[in-house]
A = this chain, B = another copy of it.
Amino acid sequence: MSRARPAGARSTPRKTAAAGPGHVQSLVTDPRLVEERRGQIVRAAVKLFSGRGYYTTTIQEIAREAGISTGLVYQYVRDKDDVLLLALKLVLDTYEREIPARLIEVEGPVRRLCTAIATYCEIIDRLREATVLTYRSTKSLRDDRRRLIMDGEVRTNRIIQACVHSCVKAGQMRTGNEYLHAYMLVMFCHTWALKYWALRKRYTLARYVRDGLDLLVAPLLTAQGRVAYAAALADSEQRRKGTAR
């Protein structure tokens, strides 16, 4: 007679209001553990969401992929929407973290712009499916959180915008519209993931980046900028030879 309290049996919602739309509450207190477990969960989620999509991936599958039990997921995450948010954040954060990291050592506005594009494309190549995920699934997020993801995108865009702006300010590039130019450069990078099914037949990543720069950067350079551009290309040619075995 005395039986388990059924799952659906809650008279009052017990979840406390989140601190903000971006905050993901965890029932577990140890931050070390939260970090680790969430890492497992989100990595699993990115992998599965990327492959099968958000709605067709079950929490059970995520748990199995993460090597934990179903219930445990809910100790670190409020609901499936949280998992999606965390997954998308992981992707956007990677862009935002890795591009600047790589730029630190690079000097010269054109060189920096080219490096930024190349780096962005390389990250996207690594996160190809995950990048597609951001296009597929951002709309599946709750409204307030969708905005959060957009903010992340805006921040990454600003990195490229800044590079474009430096080129212009240094008199190495002439762009009628820095904002749009930067946006199209970003889209160029995203396109590698979005249209990989078509592009892979014709391009290697390196070739894609090279041709893209020739198309979207080179034509807008000033004479001065063209010198820097040639140097930048030579550079990256060097680097490729270096890293190729």
5 A-B interface contacts by CB (under 8 A): A2-B141, A12-B56, A183-B195, A184-B216, A187-B195
Q: Which residue of B lies closest to A11 (CB)?
A: B56
Q: With A2-B142, A56-B5 in contact, do A135 and B220 touch (Cβ < 8 Å)?
A: no
Does the CB pair B198–A81 fall under 8 Å? no
Does the CB pair B184–A81 fall under 8 Å? no
Q: With A56-B11, A139-B53, A142-B2 in contact, do A202 and B215 touch (Cβ < 8 Å)?
A: no
Q: Which of A197-232 contact B (CB under 8 A)?
A: 197-199, 202-203, 208, 211-212, 214-216, 219-220
Chain A at the B interface: SS class: helix
Tell me if A181 is interfacial: C-beta within 8 Å of chain B: yes
Contact count band on A: 35 or more
Identical subunits present: 4
Q: CB-CB < 8 A to A84: which residues of B? A: 2
Closest 5 CB pairs of A and B: A219-B219, A55-B55, A2-B81, A3-B56, A5-B55
Does the CB pair B198–A188 fall under 8 Å? no
Tell me if A113 is interfacial: C-beta within 8 Å of chain B: no
CA distance A12 to B55 in the complex (A): 12
CA distance A94 to B220 in the complex (A): 34
Q: CB-CB < 8 A to A136: which residues of B? A: 135-137, 139
Q: CB-CB < 8 A to A135: which residues of B? A: 135-136, 194
Does the CB pair A215–B2 fall under 8 Å? no
Does the CB pair B215–A175 fall under 8 Å? yes
